């Protein structure tokens, strides 16, 4: 291109009908800008706790018309896997293209090394506008720039520890306004609708009665997300707060603030299902005091109801994503933008004795959806077409995006662009104290091998004969992949794992994680 001289002449009417990406490309072609005009913008949508089979398996009956349409406009990869079954380590692996034991982010609440290269910072340094809205407290940084927010010029979140799609979109969609017409952008949209606690979406109508010294303060719905706040006037002496419900509930958090910067009078989480919980507040002698009461309570559906609730939440997620996609189209930002949709991990709904995530490395916790939409008119690279049905580790996604943007590699990335064909093997891990045991695994399309360093024990599953991963071959199965035990031992010997320091959490961060079930 250096030897080609281009002359671009157009009337204003011609320019006005062109998309922003087309204008950027033409400007770069004419030599008018050394900004990333030859590249396009990127929207990354991450759903927290979304199993791949919730979109793939008709048994779920999770109608997802918006995600279906996105897949029709792009590519659906049926074998994408995450690298950790918890939020912060998985996102750190995704954004840095490094495994958790390489990034040093092993559990929720950990600090993110300031030297760890992250996608947002990388793109910001190349003049991309970077904006993000996240829906769960596990992604909130302890201080600006101290977490995965590094590199985002705008990083916003609703005040709730886990926010439903409409609350997230209320903060997200305004980020689309005011984008520069002469710069590309990177937008992160993080949704948490499939994450616990699961809303009933009108299929149940349980409630809890909140009283103070026997007088009713409020009757609160518990089958839907409920955060309640009120000012209390408390006289000296003891006062009883009582929460009682017509159905089992979990007290996600109850807090009564102390005076000014003093410790809270009450700040508790109890995730044990119950019908009633009471608390005593003691006010010292003196005049009456005014204190703020905050309450987050949610019902505790039984095992038979959980799968139905999860399906409702997947439909709610689809609706929220649809609103975002419509907003992109309305602003002329859809056609010429790369859009990537995935999840940070899955969710156990009874398989392997687990409801939730974190605790193991089986398929239901790591197998996630992946949709990639290219800019309109861009030719489909052969490598992407070949990868649709093969195993795709998430650390390969950022190298793929950067490859599609025509930019140099992210420093330190260990993932490999999907434009480069060839078989891939997944490594994943989960760690104490959130998990009961430290575990590492390797997986391909035919075999799963799990290593527990503390017990020096291997589990091996033949995925062709045992797709449900229920029959452990033990040491007898090591011959299926003779090189894997040594790879797993090397990962467990890494300094980030062996020399890790306990995560030091401030009281508020610790309380938020407890309320989320961590």
pLDDT band at 129 (very low <50, low <70, confident <90, very high): very high
Task: Note the pLDDT tens digit of each residue in 205-229.
Answer: 999 999 999 999 999 999 998 899 9
Task: Quote the CA–CA distance of 56 and 73 in Å, as a whole number.
Answer: 17
Q: What pLDDT does 12 receive?
A: 26
The answer, yes or no, to whether residue 276 has pLDDT greater than 60, is yes
Q: Domains in the chain, please, with CATH?
A: 1-34 (no CATH), 40-198+304-375+394-418 (3.40.720.10), 207-300 (2.60.120), 439-513 (no CATH)
Task: Quote the CA–CA distance of 206 and 186 in Å, as a whole number.
Answer: 41
Alpha-carbon distance values, 255 to 233, 268, 271, 516 (Å): 15, 7, 15, 15
Q: What is the mean pLDDT of the chain?
A: 89
The H or E element spanning position 30 is: none
Q: What pLDDT does 57 receive?
A: 79
DSSP assignment of 439-505: EEEEE-SSEEEEEEGGGTEEEEEETTT-TT-----GGGGGGGSTTHHHHHHHHHT-HHHHTPPPP--
Q: At what angle do helices 65-73 and 303-330 cross, to 10 degrees?
A: 50
Q: What pLDDT does 4 receive?
A: 25
Task: Quote the CA–CA distance of 409 and 222 in Å, as a whole number.
Answer: 48
Task: Quote the CA–CA distance of 266 and 257 in Å, as a whole number.
Answer: 7
Phi, psi angle pair for 118, to nearest 5°: -125, 150
Q: Give the 3-state secondary structure of 343-373.
A: ECCCCEECHHHCEECCCCCCHHHHEEEEEEE
Q: How far is CA 337 from the centre of its chain?
A: 21
> Closest Cα partner for 338 from 191, 190, 184?
184
Determine what percent of the chain is predicted with pLDDT higher than 90.
Answer: 75
Task: Note the pLDDT tens digit of each residue in 77-122.
Answer: 999 999 999 999 999 999 999 999 999 999 998 889 999 999 999 9
Beta bridge partners of 451: 440, 458
Angle of CA points 345, 350, 355, to nearest 5°:
55
Task: Note the pLDDT tens digit of each residue in 462-481.
Answer: 999 999 999 999 999 999 99
- CA diameter of the chain: 86
- Yes or no: say if 476 and 493 are a contact pair by the CB < 8 Å rule: no
Burial string for 115-153 (b: 16+ CB within 10 Å, else e) reads: ebbbbbbbbbebbbbbbbbbbbbbbbbeeeeebbbbbbe
Task: Quote the CA–CA distance of 156 and 175 in Å, as a whole number.
Answer: 9
CA atoms within 13 A on the CB side of 233: 2
**Which residues are within 8 A (CB) of 50 and not within 5 positions of it... i.e. 6 or more apart?**
194, 314, 317, 343, 346, 347, 368, 369
Place of tokens 């527990």: 452
Under DSSP, is residue 318 helix (H, G, I), strand (E, B) or coil?
helix
Q: What pLDDT does 220 receive?
A: 95
Task: Quote the CA–CA distance of 243 and 219 in Å, as a whole number.
Answer: 10
Report the range out of 10-14, 148-152, 255-259 with the highest average pLDDT. Answer: 148-152
Q: What pLDDT does 98 receive?
A: 98
Report the range out of 28-37, 49-58, 477-486 with the highest average pLDDT. Answer: 477-486
Place of tokens 């104490």: 432
Task: Note the pLDDT tens digit of each residue in 155-203.
Answer: 999 888 999 999 999 999 999 998 988 899 999 999 999 999 999 999 9
What is the arithmetic mean of pLDDT over 48-57? 92
Determine what percent of the chain is predicted with pLDDT higher than 70.
Answer: 91
What is the arithmetic mean of pLDDT over 7-27? 34
> Closest Cα partner for 293 from 239, 232, 221?
232
Alpha-carbon distance values, 60 to 42, 75, 371, 380, 470 (Å): 30, 21, 19, 31, 21
> Closest Cα partner for 451 from 415, 487, 422, 421?
487
DSSP state of 263: P
């Amino acid at each position: 291109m250096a030897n080609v001289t281009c002359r671009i002449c157009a009337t204003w009417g011609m320019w006005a009908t062109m998309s922003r990406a087309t204008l950027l490309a033409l400007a770069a072609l004419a030599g008018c800008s050394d900004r990333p005009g030859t590249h396009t913008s990127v929207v990354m949508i991450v759903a927290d706790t979304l199993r791949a089979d919730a979109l793939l398996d008709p048994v779920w009956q999770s109608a997802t018309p918006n995600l279906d349409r996105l897949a029709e406009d792009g590519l659906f990869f049926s074998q994408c896997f995450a690298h950790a079954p918890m939020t912060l380590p998985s996102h750190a692996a995704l954004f840095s293209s490094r495994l958790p034991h390489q990034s040093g982010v092993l559990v929720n609440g950990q600090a993110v090394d300031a030297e760890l290269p992250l996608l947002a910072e990388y793109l910001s340094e190349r003049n991309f506008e970077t904006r993000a809205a996240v829906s769960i407290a596990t992604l909130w940084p302890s201080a600006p720039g101290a977490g995965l927010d590094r590199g985002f010029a705008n990083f916003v979140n609703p005040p709730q520890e886990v926010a439903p799609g409409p609350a997230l979109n209320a903060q997200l969609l305004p980020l689309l306004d005011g984008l520069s017409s002469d710069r590309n952008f990177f937008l992160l949209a993080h949704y948490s609708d499939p994450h616990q606690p699961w809303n009933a979406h009108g299929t149940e109508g349980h409630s809890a009665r909140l009283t103070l010294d026997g007088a009713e303060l409020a009757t609160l719905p518990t089958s839907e997300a409920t955060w309640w706040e009120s000012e209390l006037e408390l006289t000296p002496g003891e006062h009883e707060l009582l929460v009682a419900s017509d159905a089992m509930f979990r007290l996600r958090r109850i807090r009564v603030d102390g005076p000014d910067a003093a410790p809270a009078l009450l700040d508790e989480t109890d995730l044990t299902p119950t019908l009633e919980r009471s608390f005593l507040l003691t006010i010292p002698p003196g005049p009456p005091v005014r204190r703020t009461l905050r309450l987050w309570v949610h019902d505790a559906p039984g095992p038979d109801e959980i799968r139905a609730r999860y399906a409702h939440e997947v439909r709610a997620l689809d609706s929220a994503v649809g609103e975002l996609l419509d907003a992109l189209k309305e602003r002329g930002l859809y056609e010429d933008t790369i859009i990537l949709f995935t999840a940070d991990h899955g969710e156990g709904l009874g398989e392997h004795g687990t409801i939730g995530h974190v605790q193991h490395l089986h398929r239901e916790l790591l197998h996630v959806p992946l949709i990639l939409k290219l800019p309109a008119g861009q030719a489909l690279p052969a490598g992407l077409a070949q990868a649709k049905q093969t195993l795709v580790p998430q650390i390969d996604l950022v190298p793929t995006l950067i490859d599609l943007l025509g930019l140099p590699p992210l420093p330190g990335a260990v993932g490999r662009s999907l434009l480069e064909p060839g078989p891939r093997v997944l490594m994943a891990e989960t760690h104490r104290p959130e998990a009961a045991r430290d575990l590492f695994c390797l997986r391909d399309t035919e075999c799963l091998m799990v290593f527990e360093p503390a017990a020096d024990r291997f589990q091996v599953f033949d995925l062709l004969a045992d797709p449900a991963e229920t029959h452990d071959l033990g040491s007898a199965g090591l011959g299926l992949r003779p090189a894997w035990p040594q790879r797993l031992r090397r990962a467990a010997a890494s300094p980030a794992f062996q020399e890790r320091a306990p995560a030091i959490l401030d009281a508020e961060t610790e309380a938020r994680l407890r309320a989320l079930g961590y």
